[in-house]
Amino acid sequence: MKCREFNLLLCDYVDGALDHDRRRGAEDHLLSCASCSQALAEAEFAVAFLHEAPSVEPPPQLIADIIHDTIGIGGALAPVGGGAVESDGFFSFLRPLFQPVLQPRFVMSMAMSVLSLSMMTFYGKRAVQNWQGQASPTAIVESVQLGVRGAWDRVEEIYDSAAMFYELQTGYPAASEPGEVSGEDSPAEPPNQEEGR
């Protein structure tokens, strides 16, 4: 074997990818060639150092930043097929303007804020009136129970509206409440679930 041939095999030799015969031929050549032996020593030294180098871990925040920069806070994937955003109709230029407030999480927060404020004003006012009108403890408890029941009904109504809005925004069915009986109203299987297995 000549130096030129050995040079072609050096990479495979260091990586242990040579068959027995060629490895033996290379070893025979190394016995009689100082420059190729030095080349081998250098390559092996570099590989050993590289293999001992600690692996580089990305900062945890980086992954969150990438997700945020690409699919936003809500986790809904924007069309990636190209051109879908541009072909969104006459008012498509308004889309970037309203993009931040159209995030499902933002809409949910707004809905919950409106709900809290309306409950505070409506039921708070009623409770004060009841308190002033009926001073007996039983009447107050009944009034509070009535108020709580009414508030719960309103919460359910607003939750249903918000869930419907979320589904329209994301194309995903909203999560069902814990303990909800599956039936007509139970959420459908998420799309592509089969593909993910």
Partner 1 sequence: MERDTALVEQCLNGNGGAWEELVRNHARLVYGACYRFTGRGEDSQDLTQEVFLRVFRRLHTFNPESGAFRTWLLRLTRNLLIDNYRKTRKDQALDPLEDQIFALEEKSGLGADAERLVNRREASELLSRSLQKLSPELREAVILRDLEQLEYREIAQTLEIPEGTVKSRINRGRRELARQLRALGVQG
**Contact set with partner 1 (CB under 8 A):** 7-8, 10-12, 14, 39, 41-43, 45-59, 62-63, 65-67, 69-71, 74-77, 79-82, 171, 191-192, 195-196
From the list 108, 81, 77, the residue with the least C-alpha distance to 172 is 77
> Which residue number, 8 or 175, has a Cβ lying nearer to partner 1?
8
Task: State the Cα–Cα distance between residues 147 and 95, nearest whole angstrom.
Answer: 41
Nearer to partner 1, 63 or 120 (CB): 63
E-strand ranges in the chain read none
- Of 68 and 125, nearer to partner 1 (C-beta) is 68
Q: Are 165 and 102 in contact, with CB atoms under 8 Å apart?
A: no
Contact present, 102 and 169 (Cβ < 8 Å): yes
Q: Which residue has the tokens 């002033």?
A: 132
Shortest distance, position 128 Cβ to partner 1, whole Å: 46
Neighbours of 149 (CB within 10 A): 10
CB of 55 vs partner 1, minimal distance in Å: 7
* Residue number, 54 or 183, with CB nearest to partner 1: 54
CB of 9 to partner 1, least distance (A): 9
